[in-house]
Amino acid sequence: MNRPLVAILSGAGISTDSGIPDYRGPNGLWRRDPEAEKLVTHEYYMRDPEIRRRSWQMRRKNHALKAEPNSAHLAIAEFEKSGIPVRVITQNVDGLHQLAGMPARKVLELHGTARSVVCTKCHDRGPMEDALARVEAGEQDPPCLECGGILKSATVMFGQTLDPVVLGEALAISKACTVFVAVGSSLQVQPAAGLVGVAADHGARLVVVNAEPTPYDDRADEIVREPIGAALPKLLAALRAG
């Protein structure tokens, strides 16, 4: 018998226990400091060297690269090791699913990764840690070492479109899955949130695990309001038991 495909859409709420802030929640960064949004807006970043300098300082002070996976990330990795087909579609850029042990090929990063930098001119990529070391050494706006172009985090900034290949794979998984678990996401950011509706339209059992109500709660077969670190391991254990 074929085992069901489980799709897990993870948002910022899954990483708050790892010390990474939720940007859109009630106490999220964008609500507390609207000016901070400019630092991750493509148009501002590309045209204003001062915005880039401030962005690099924000990255330098950001401890996300030192964060460790929490019980929810580890539970998903253990779930995958049990042999049940699972794919993670994440809105997060922290790389914690992979650090927890999920194979990189089974993780779709809709919004890119903060662990790499990319040149906006020649598209050369490299580790974020190397670029931050240059900032620490005194370069305020380190250019690409290959062509001198503007370097940015390999994340999808405001004003940029998602990678169509990654989004296409996420759509295919949403259509094919038997169970779709949306965890720690406000489900307010499109097109990621729309994947929930796609999964439901194609007959998937929909489970929403989130502290706050979401626009898709009325389509969910199950809603879990408990803290994610405890709720998700329990939920996955129940799925594994069948």
pLDDT in tens, 48-78: 999 999 999 989 888 778 899 999 999 999 9
Q: What is the pLDDT of residue 21?
A: 74
Which CATH superfamily, name and number, covers 1-20+69-111+161-242? Answer: TPP-binding domain (3.40.50.1220)
Parse the chain into domains and list their residue ranges: 1-20+69-111+161-242, 21-66+113-155
pLDDT value of position 33:
66
Residue 64 tokens, joined: 């996300």
Cβ-contact 105, 86 below 8 angstroms: no
What pLDDT score does 26 carry?
A: 46
Residue type, 143: P
Let me know if 42 is a catalytic residue.
Answer: no
Report pLDDT for 61: 85
pLDDT under 50: residue ranges of the chain: 1, 26
Determine which one of 63, 73, 111, 123 is catalytic.
111
Superfamily for the 21-66+113-155 domain: SIR2/SIRT2 'Small Domain' (3.30.1600.10)
Q: Residue-wise over 153-171: b if at least 16 C-beta within 10 A, else e?
A: bbbbbeebebbeebbeebb
pLDDT at 90: 97
